[in-house]
Amino acid sequence: MGRAMLEVRDVTKRFGAVEAVTGISFSVFEGEIVGFLGPNGAGKTTTMRMLAGIFPPTTGTVRIAGHDPRRDPLACRRAVGYFPENAPYYPELTVTEYLGFVARLKRIPRTERNAAVGSVLADCGLEHMAHRRVGTLSKGYRQRVGLAQALCGDPPILILDEPTIGLDPQQVVDIRERVRGLRGRRTVLFSSHILTEVEALCERVVVIAGGRLAGEGTPAQLGLQLGRRQRVVLRTDGPEADVVTALASIPGVMIVDHGSGAFVLEASVDVDLGTMVGTRVARGGWIVRELRIETLDLEDIFLRLVRREPTA
C-alpha cells in the first residue's frame, strides 16, 4: 500500500442540531479505487464534501494528499477533482467554454490550457460535443462533462459522488469503464449504491450507515469481518410448526424467514448446513421440494450492515 492520499480521522460533522457524520475514520491510499457505500442520508455526500473542501469537519481531522485543509485549503483543492452528486452544470455554456473556465480556475497556464481541455475531452469521449451547450446534452453526456471537469488539471485524487445515478444501463457501463480506466493512475473514492459496480471496480469498500462507519476492507475482508455466512433455502411439504422445531434443533442455525412451506436458514460457513437440513427433513418423513445452498455476497452484507442486524 502506498501513502494515504485521503485520511479521515474521528470526523464528526454537525449542521445545527443535526449530526450528519459521527466519529468516522478511514483512509484511501495512493492508486486505490475505493467504493464508498451507504444508503441515502448515511452521510456519504457530507463526508465527500468535507474531503472536497466545501466545508470543514466540526471535529476531527481530514488530510488531503498530506495537506491540512484548514491550513492550506488551496493545496488540498488542487489535489482533488470532485464530481458532485447529480453533476451540476451551467446549461448555457458550451462544453469547451465550461471546461476552459474550469481549467482557468484550476490555474492551468494559458499555454497548456487548450491541450488540457482537449485531453479531458478525449478521455471522456466528448470531442464531437465540444461546441454543444451543456444544457442540450443528454444526461449521459452531462455526466461525462462532470467527469471531465473533475479530471481537468490532472488531480491525483478523484472524489466521485454517485457518478452513475440516474443513467440508463448503457451509460452506466460507459462511465464505469471510464473510471476503471483510471485504475493505478489516480486515487479514486467512488460512492455508489449499486453493489455490483463497486464489487467490479473497487479494491476496497468503505461502508457507512447512520453517519457511522459500518465496515471497511476488500469485499473478501468484509465477508470475513462479518463472519462468512451461508444460507439454505428449503421448500418441503411438512407441517410448518414441526419443521421449524426440527430445524431449530440444529446447532448454530438461525431461521431467518419461513412461510407457506418455504424456509430460509443461515449459519456460518464451517457448518455443513445442507446435509444437516436434509437429514432433519428425511428424519421427519417429509418430502424435499427444493434445497438450495447460497453464499452471502456483498449486497447481502451491505444490507445487513446498514440495517444493523446482529452478525454471527
Partner 1 sequence: MSVLAIARKELVLYFTSLLFYALASVFLVLSGWLFYTNLDYFIRFGGMNLVLGLWQYQLYDMRQLLLVLVPLLTMRLFAEEKRLGTLELLWTYPLRDWEIIAGKFIACMLVMKLMLAATLVYPLVLSRFYPVDPWPLAAGYLGLVLLIAAFVACGLFLSALTDSQLVAGASTYGVLLFFWILTWNEAAVGEGALKLLVPFSLFDRFQVFMHGGIDTRDVSYLLLFTFAFLCFTWFALDSRRWRGVR
Partner 2 sequence: MLGGRATRSWSQLILQVVLLLVVLGMLQVLADRTSRRWDLTPTRALTLSPVTQKVLAEVDGPLHVTVFFRRGTREQYAALLDRMRAETPHLTYDLLDLDRYPERGRSVGVGKHGMAAIDYQGRHTVAPATAEEQLAGGILNVVRGRQRTVRFTTGHGERQPGGDPRSVGRLVTALAAENYRSEALSLIDGAVPKETDLVVVAGPARDFLPPELMALANYLKAGGGLVLLLDPVSVPNLSGMLSSMGIRLGDDIVVDPEKRVLGTDGMAAIVEHFRAGNPISEPEGIAIDSGVVLPSARTVDVMGAAVPGITAESVARTGETSWAVIDLDRARRGEPPSEASKDVRGPLSLIVVAEVGDSGPDGRRGRLVVIGDSDFTTDAYLDMLGNRDVIMNAVAWVAHEDALVGERPKETAEVQRPLSPLVLTDAQAHAILIGVVVVQPALVLLLGMVLVGLRRRRG
* Binding footprint of partner 1 on the chain (CB under 8 A): 15-16, 20, 49, 52-56, 58, 73-75, 77-78, 80, 82, 84-86, 88-93, 97, 101-102, 104-107, 149
10: Cβ contacts below 8 Å, ≥ 6 apart: 23, 24, 25, 59, 60, 61
Task: Look at residue 132 and give the partner it binds from partner 2, partner 1, none, a contact being a CB closer than 5 to 8 Å depending on partner kind.
Answer: partner 2
CB-count burial class (<10 Å; 0-12, 13-18, 19+) for 268 = middle
Binding segment (CB under 8 A) for partner 2, from list 63-71, 117-125, 126-134, 292-300: 126-134
Q: How far is the CB of 233 from partner 2 (least distance, A)?
A: 45
Q: How far is the CB of 205 from partner 1 (least distance, A)?
A: 24
132 binds partner 2 (CB under 8 A): yes
How far is the C-alpha of 142 from the C-alpha of 149, rounded, in Å?
A: 10
Q: What mask of x and - would describe binding to partner 2 in positions 41 to 70, judged by CB under 8 A?
A: -----------------x------------
Number of H helices, E strands in the chain: 11, 13
Binding segment (CB under 8 A) for partner 2, from list 11-19, 73-81, 117-125, 174-182: 11-19
Residues 161, 131 contacting (CB under 8 angstroms): no
**Interface residue with partner 2, options 71, 109, 110, 131 (CB under 8 A):** 131
SS3 195: helix
Q: How far is the CB of 17 from partner 1 (least distance, A)?
A: 11
Q: How far is the CB of 18 from partner 2 (least distance, A)?
A: 8
Q: How far is the CB of 211 from partner 1 (least distance, A)?
A: 14
Instruction: Please count the other Cβ atoms lying within 10 Å of the Cβ belonging to residue 288.
Output: 14
228 binds partner 2 (CB under 8 A): no
94 binds partner 2 (CB under 8 A): yes
How far is the C-alpha of 80 from the C-alpha of 66, rounded, in Å?
A: 12
**Interface residue with partner 2, options 9, 63, 106, 133 (CB under 8 A):** 133
Task: Look at residue 149 and give the partner it binds from partner 2, partner 1, none, a contact being a CB closer than 5 to 8 Å depending on partner kind.
Answer: partner 1
Q: How far is the CB of 129 from partner 2 (least distance, A)?
A: 8
Cβ closer to partner 2: 134 or 222? 134
Residues 20, 211 contacting (CB under 8 angstroms): yes
136 binds partner 2 (CB under 8 A): yes
Q: How far is the CB of 85 from partner 2 (least distance, A)?
A: 24
Straight-line distance from the first to the last Cα atom of the chain, in angstroms, rounded to the nearest whole number: 30
Of 277, 276, 236, 286, the closest CA to residue 258 belongs to 236
Query: If residue 250 lies in a helix (H) or strand (E), which one and from where to where?
Result: none
Of 176, 178, 165, the closest CA to residue 126 belongs to 178
